[in-house]
Structure 1
């Protein structure tokens, strides 16, 4: 009886060590397989990234050529109908160039390659206001601006996209015949409009990627998520307050 018990006990040990060895081998094989799989997909992603950059680079030349030829044709043509057509082509090529810069920025941003340059923030804001003037005029909106001179070192294109998005939203959701105020004082950018009031509950989630607020069908949400992402990445606190149909967006550049 004792011999049988001892034999049974040894048999359990054998089973235990067999299972332990088997699991160890499976784990090692699994780790090797996963590392190989990760390496394979990293190589694939690297190839895709390289192809994207090369393709994007190839696009810039024909777009610039179209734009340059439009400028030449405009100077040499006296035909009004031709000039209208050339202007349409020129505007379309300009839009393509803007998309090119945006795609280039997105690719570099995803790979962490965004270079920082010196930017005069007050001049950038005034240039953007000029760009949006026609859109504001279409709603008979007046833009009052007061910006102190301010130089900082930052990702220029990302900053431009961020402030552009904020001004665009300010105009989009402002009442017709109202005034938008834009100020840059003590390294704080403030954009104020009179119009759609944001629900207090929405203010808690307005920067979320999949934000669905009362006015999300008109475009709120995705743009502000990108704005918040840029601000967080660059250490720029951002806040939105909305009450009595007055919405105030504030960006603090105090760390620069």
Structure 2
């Protein structure tokens, strides 16, 4: 148990015990004066409960304020550190772009490309860390984004691994209000799974939008019916021979639940369809 949690539990216990002693004492005094019967029971108990709640909240607020202040300072320091981290990463990217224009030696360009890939990985780690921290402290701002733009951006990430899989997109010019980073991660995981669990020949992924429903269909072996109830569980993998840790669909479900997006799976003879009801995030 860390020290902050220990201090919190000790503080709450002290306040609760102190409040309980006061209420029990006042109860004893009031009973001694007025007695206890059916007529005055409510008149004694309700004021005591309200008074006890007031004392508890008052003392809790004053005792725990240093802990809350500590959390506020920690959040402030994290934000400032994240901002400072972004500066050197951006500087590296900018200088790489400048060097790419001036260097024409093949060996040097390969080295520069490795630096570029490393800086992109560092930037991705930074963005993930920033997003996870903001998610934990519930400070994520929702933004408007066109559905087709964010889907195309997600698909482009898999150009190197989709091989011969044909990906078609039929999306209207739909505007959604959402946590863009989280929504993008959700789409990334769904498209990644659609690629990973597709068939080897004549593989197809169809992404469509109609009547508030975003559907992602992939050819391949349909999901076993008995697994439909546990497929979103953390670490679950229907096919353990595939790469991964079984976290992707759990991340998808967590985001959908938090943003009131209903998700369901239809299994058909030649594949699976993931359907997301975006009604609650449409602009």
TM-score where L is the length of structure 2:
0.72
1:91 offset after TM fit, Å? 1.8
Mapped partners of 2:260, 2:16: distance in 1: 46
Cross-structure match for 2:18 = 28
Mapped partners of 2:134, 2:185: distance in 1: 15
In structure 2, runs of 5+ residues without a counterpart are 1-13, 21-55
1:199 offset after TM fit, Å? 2.3
Bigger shift: residues 45-54 or 58-67: 45-54
In structure 1, runs of 5+ residues without a counterpart are 1-23
Cross-structure match for 2:31 = none
* 2:209 paired with 1:184: yes
Mapped partners of 2:199, 2:166: distance in 1: 11
SS of alignment partner, residue 138 of structure 2: coil
Cross-structure match for 2:39 = none
Mapped partners of 2:247, 2:78: distance in 1: 24
SS of alignment partner, residue 67 of structure 1: helix
Going from structure 1 to structure 2, the CA distance change for 1:26 and 1:144 (only over 3 Å counts) comes to closer
Judge conservation of contact 1:188–1:252 (CA < 8 Å) in 2: yes
Cross-structure match for 1:143 = 167
TM-score where L is the length of structure 1:
0.79
Deviations 1:155-210 (A, max 9, x none): 111111111111111111112231111112222211111224322222101222x3
Going from structure 1 to structure 2, the CA distance change for 1:152 and 1:58 (only over 3 Å counts) comes to same
Cross-structure match for 1:248 = 273
1:71 to 69, 80, 97: 97
CA RMSD of aligned residues (A): 2.7
Going from structure 1 to structure 2, the CA distance change for 1:243 and 1:41 (only over 3 Å counts) comes to farther
Cross-structure match for 1:168 = 192
SS of alignment partner, residue 113 of structure 2: helix
Aligned length: 229
Judge conservation of contact 2:231–2:238 (CA < 8 Å) in 1: no
1:119 offset after TM fit, Å? 0.5
Mapped partners of 2:249, 2:16: distance in 1: 47
Q: How does 1:1-256 map to 2 (within 5 A)?
A: 27-28=17-18, 35=60, 41-137=67-163, 140-177=164-201, 178-208=203-233, 210-215=234-239, 218-219=243-244, 221-255=246-280, 256=282
Judge conservation of contact 2:266–2:274 (CA < 8 Å) in 1: yes
SS of alignment partner, residue 219 of structure 1: coil
Mapped partners of 1:87, 1:68: distance in 2: 13
Going from structure 1 to structure 2, the CA distance change for 1:78 and 1:216 (only over 3 Å counts) comes to same
Mapped partners of 2:147, 2:228: distance in 1: 27
